[in-house]
Structure 1
């Protein structure tokens, strides 16, 4: 082989290897990966999720066990299982059961405990609050003060040692969403729920809550008026010292996005959600639903502005929980289209800005 041809082929080979290296780096730097899937072929929506003593716990939820949908005659089933994953490359284990089947409530991780608040099943909505602890392969469940009213499809977050809860619906046949705003200090000697002043906007369910720099945030959700949903883009900030104020609207609704919002050092991020566009298209058959938003929206309190920070690289789930495990965002299961669940567990490498 003459020298010019040899050099030409060598350059092609080096270019190919370099291109492959760049592609591999881009893939590994994307921030997204998957944990072992939930051990169910269908998956669940409305599951609770949290962390106790370094173990990821996923509990309850609902699905259509035959893989169908309400409009095909399938019946929704609620579940009481509690699954545990002790390391990212491990296997899920069934470690216990909830006091009863339950889903669509609020999940809070506090210290070494995972707290389950409210929720619903085929019998109705609940005001129960349970604290789960998992340690040395043993699960314990204790009860905390009940909510002022039963609630499901709510939003909330931990701010310091205090749980804040906003909105939801009180019963399966509720015609209007709630404007409830409750708080309970977990460090108080005599824990009790307090009713607080509500936000200066519509009542809502399926909102997204967040906490940053000592303030509570309420984003989007759906207003329910006489049983009809209105997808919301408004947002509010609450200071325990000064109360509520309205902040910049979202670019689009993020109804039922995995909650809570993820807090970076100076922003709050919301992963996906239902923007309501498909719901507004009456001519769109349910089986042709395109899925939910894949945008990761970022809110900056400093500038009171929104931006698109990332894209979810898989079908984006709603009606599920966002929790932090080993410093990373974890989104287990959820609903990727109406009535369609997923057993996938998404993980996003967190950022510091």
Structure 2
């Protein structure tokens, strides 16, 4: 695919190298799982799939889960742990000081406003849960990122049949996670769900997403940065939409660049390809924060494999020196238990 106005980033002596970690112990995998770390272990919790193997366009029923999986080491195997307090997915996640927090999302009946703290019990070698608060409103399909000790949640939708998406932005001080959420200036442009957020050099950035016009999807390419004065500044548009891309995006301090992995550009959204859908983008986009310019960095690939399925509607985690993209949706209605791990290899450089 030729992308107008995108320059291949050949000026960098660097490359991404990808490999697979052990797959989560589920034959299908899940979309919308809460992904993060607890006690420096990788945690995948909740989400939904179609366990009967029937595609949604053939009448398959989407089922939410409360299952949780923990990976302690990169070379290890996943351990299934105590389930979430409820079946849920498609919400916001953050990790902070050994604990993981999950907020909002949905279940089979409604969108949620719950806020749980997840911790690790060394005695039982298992997870513990504590309901500590609520979001200001029910939200699912929102973006989420931590900057310092603040957790930001952006956009989303309040109910499954929403006709418009939210342009709200909230933050929570994780030093006192039972305190109230603080409103932040609303995101400019159209309300959006499935956006990609980033910590861009200690500033909040949001890219792309999907707007709803009377329930109809519009794929967005605009991007914004929240300044120190509390106002949003427009950034150069993303070359192609990256809706539902793995988030938050990865920021590399040495390169002063944000990397966005995969996403749905919307080009096949109305194609009705069903089982013939080729999968979502495996493109890596790089935003150079110094030049304020986007580059098409490369495509994601694993040595020895002609094609890898890059997931959407899942989280990305910087864990033990690598970016990890666990499970997620690889084609419409199709999940995968695979777990991708990427490393940015740079000559004469330390992050």
Q: Which residue of the other structure, out of 314, 318, 337, is the alignment partner of 1:343? A: 337
Q: Work out the CA distance in 2 between the residues paired with 1:188 and 1:130.
A: 13
Q: Displacement, 1:139? A: 1.6
> Match of 1:333?
327
Other-structure match for 1:259: 247
Secondary structure of residue in 2 paired with 1:176: coil
2:144 counterpart residue number: 156
SS at match of 2:262: strand
Aligned with residue 81 of structure 1, among 67, 70, 73: 67
Question: What's 2:277 paired with?
Answer: 289
Change beyond 3 A, Cα 1:56–1:263: same
Matches within 5 A, 1:1-353: 31-136=17-122, 137-188=125-176, 191-265=179-253, 266-281=256-271, 284-313=272-301, 314-351=308-345
- 1:261-306 CA distance string (max 9 Å, x none): 011011111100000001143xx42222121111111111211100
CA contact (8 A) 1:254 1:275 kept: yes
Q: What CA distance in whole angstroms lies between the structure 1 residues aligned with 2:228 and 2:182? A: 13
Aligned residues of 2:316 and 2:325 also touching (Cα < 8 A): yes
Whole-angstrom distance in 1 between the partners of 2:277 and 2:45: 28
1-structure distance, mates of 2:310, 2:202: 30
**SS of alignment partner, residue 306 of structure 1:** strand
8 Å Cα contact 2:204/2:226 also seen in 1: yes
Label 1:74 to 1:242 Cα distance change in 2 as closer, same or farther (>3 A).
Answer: closer
Please, which runs of 5 or more residues in structure 1 have no aligned partner?
Answer: 1-28
Partner SS state of residue 273, structure 1: coil
Which contiguous aligned blocks of 4+ residues in structure 1 show a shift greater than 3 angstroms? 350-353
What is the number of equivalent residue pairs in this alignment? 323
Query: 1:167, 1:207 within 8 Å by CA — same for their partners in 2?
Result: yes
TM-score (norm 1): 0.88
Secondary structure of residue in 2 paired with 1:46: coil
- Structure 1 residues 45-90: Cα deviation after superposition (integer angstroms, max 9, x where no partner): 1111111112111100100002221111110100001111111121
Question: What is the root-mean-square deviation of aligned Cα atoms in Å?
Answer: 1.5
Contact 2:35–2:44 (8 Å) recurs in 1: yes
Give the distance between the partners of 2:99 and 2:143, measured in 1 at CA: 19
Give the whole-Å Cα distance in 2 for the aligned partners of 1:132 and 1:232: 33
Structure with larger Rg: 1
CA contact (8 A) 1:278 1:290 kept: no
Quote the Cα distance in structure 2 between the aligned partners of 1:208 and 1:30: 20
Between 1:334-343 and 1:105-114, the stretch displaced more is: 105-114
Q: Distance in 2 between matches of 1:46 and 1:186?
A: 23
TM-score, normalisation: structure 2: 0.89
Q: How big is the shift at 1:189?
A: 8.1
SS class of match (1:51): strand
Structure 2: runs of 5 or more not aligned: 1-14, 302-307
Shift of 1:241: 2.6
Say which is worse superposed, 129-138 or 260-269, in terms of deviation. 129-138
Give the 3-state SS of the residue equivalent to 2:82 in structure 1. Answer: strand
Q: Please say which of residues 236-245 and 183-192 is displaced more in the overlay.
A: 183-192
Q: Secondary structure at the match of 2:269?
A: helix
Question: Quick one: distance in 2 between partners of 1:274 and 1:242?
Answer: 30
